[in-house]
Structure 1
Amino acid sequence: MAKRKRTVEEYLMHLEDKGFILSEEAVGFIFFGKKLTGASDELVNAAIEVTLKVKQRFDGSFYISLLEAFQHDQVKNRYQALRYVEQKGILT
């Protein structure tokens, strides 16, 4: 059976459980970026994950840039997103 994808809300709760507590401003920005780009929850979660790994904190402009790049290059899921950032040298 395939693993169910987490919603953005569930992913944020998962991060909080792991000790990554984001400010209300950051959470608002996450949902703003999701709406701006029309990204799926899976891609938003991948963008949050990459942002935190690369920046060691939430960086709104980096996050939005990732979502826009995913949209521009037709990245469809987490696997493709992680491969994309590795190929671009963003995440090694």
Structure 2
Amino acid sequence: MRRDLREGVTIYVTENIKPNFAEIARQYNVDYRTVKKAYEEVKAGLKGRPSLLDPFKQTIDSKLELNCSAASIFKFIQKKGFTGSYTLVKD
């Protein structure tokens, strides 16, 4: 698959906009089915693995309501089994 086509379609996927396949096909000089295939591939690729933070979301939210710092939240969930990095929690 052409990289420029994939990048063009990625914009629509990230913005959650259903593209006009025929219009994009004219832009990139390809068939509309090729655009549709690229769109579906990119869309399927974004539904990847879950975040390392997912099992700890409720804990993090409750700690944020108590105005805890990112460092203290990181240390707390690390004791509970979190294996990710501090920057993941901080962001």
Q: What TM-score, normalized to structure 2?
A: 0.27
Relative contact order higher in (CA < 8 Å, ≥ 6 apart) = 1
Q: What TM-score, normalized to structure 1?
A: 0.27
